[in-house]
Amino acid sequence: MTTGKLGFIGIGAMGSAIASRLVTGRELYVNDLNRQAADELVRQGATFAPTDEMAKQCRYVFLSLPGPANVVELLLGSEGIARHFEPGTLVVDTTTGTPTTDKEIVSALAELGVDFVDAPIAGGVKRAREGTATLMVGASEQAFTKARDLLLAVTSDVHHVGPSGAGHAMKLVNNLLNSCNRFAALEAVRLGQAYGIDQDTVVEVINKSSSRNYTTETTFPQLLSGDSYRPQGFTLQLMLKDLHLANEMAESLGHATPIGHLVEEFTQEAIDRFGPGADQSQLMAEWYRG
């Protein structure tokens, strides 16, 4: 087990799920703008601490923030905590970020003797808490070796996909396809219903056929079965952010993503209809209503 003080900044739904995998048997310090978000982790033995103190004391610091701009501001802004890091500190960023931002961060931290690993997670909050989610890791071999034990404590499904930035690139690829699949599955299932086939029957047959995907295998049967929907725990605003970052990365590479741009437009339309804080499940349940 990796020893030394461990910090975790950003303990919202996903951050707290990841941090819950690290609290047992470790000296874990946590921080979030919403102090109450830390209550459960504190009950499990974590300590709430200011970010600057955490940076001074912890040799390992995890981040789970809303987006890459938040990571840059936290680390390198006017009150950035990077200046407090000791040489040899390891930063593990589980935020859905971008390779471009990673390049800036890696360069700045390298001057301080600090390693950076981009390790976004996929699979949802439930799987993250269970330790069965997927980590996509971008890092130098040295940084990955240093981070390996902690990453494996989060989940056994760890993929070192390339150098710094590759983890975030892979997450954007995943989220782009997930969002496209979501709208395509919704359209197809509703088409079956329009013909008069029961929704559960449509989904059951699809899941035994070549078009099955996460939306048909998980979202529909677990969250959209019956007369009401259950929240998935992921807002339309976050969905739009991830789509935009993926399309933006594609543009920077000179790579066309016409379907991705169309789904980004659909997601913006959904936000206009349901609001930025609406859950993905509301989109799936109400897109074709009215």
Query: Which among 5, 103, 146, 171 is annotated as catalytic?
Result: 171
How many Å apart are CA 29 and CA 46, to the nearest integer? Answer: 6
Active site residue 5: no
Return the ∠ at Cα 30 (arms to 24 and 33), rounded to 5°.
Answer: 145
- Tokens 């047992």 belong to residue: 24
Phi and psi, residue 262, nearest 5°: -65, -45
The torsion defined by the Cα of 13, 8, 34 and 40, in degrees rounded to 10, comes to 70
- Are 278 and 271 in contact by the 8 Å Cβ rule? The answer is yes
| Residues identified as active-site | 171
